Amino acid sequence: MKREELLKKLTSVGVVSVVRADTPAKAVKIADAVITGGVKGIELTYTVPHADSVINDLVEKHGNDALIGAGTVLDATSARLAISAGAEFIVSPTFDIEVAKMCNLRPLYTS
């Protein structure tokens, strides 16, 4: 998907729910409930243990119906793992040039 298409998809979901949990199972359960409830944008924070695996699970389960991204991405390694897991956007609380470079390798939206 091109960046322009991704940005259009991101704005069309209207609301992006930030999902934080202390276990991967809780994160999946929360995200499933949010998506079932009608919110089609999920930002799974990298404070969730094994966030890349959770992102992968959510993309496999809801990838056609929801926009799944990664949040609280603090370094290029986490960005790479999130991208490899299928994250369609990356959110970082700070600007890190290496995260930006990693995101620019793929057609992702980063903020």
Q: pTM of the full predicted structure?
A: 0.89
Residue 85 reports pLDDT greater than 60: yes
d(CA 83, CA 8): 19
Cβ(38)–Cβ(55) below 8 Å: no
Does residue 89 have a pLDDT over 70? Answer: yes
Q: What is the reported pLDDT for 9?
A: 82
- Spatial contact of 110 and 83, defined as CB atoms under 8 Å apart: no
Give the tens place of pLDDT for each residue, 34-68.
Answer: 999 999 999 999 999 999 999 999 999 998 899 99
Q: What is the dihedral of CA 100, 15, 18, 1, to 10 degrees?
A: -40
Q: What angle do CA 60, 45, 64 make, to 5 degrees?
A: 25
Confidence of residue 70 (pLDDT cuts 50, 70, 90): very high
pLDDT, residue 111, reads: 55
Q: Which domains does the chain have, with CATH numbers?
A: 3-110 (3.20.20.70)
Asked whether the predicted pLDDT for residue 84 surpasses 60, the reply is yes
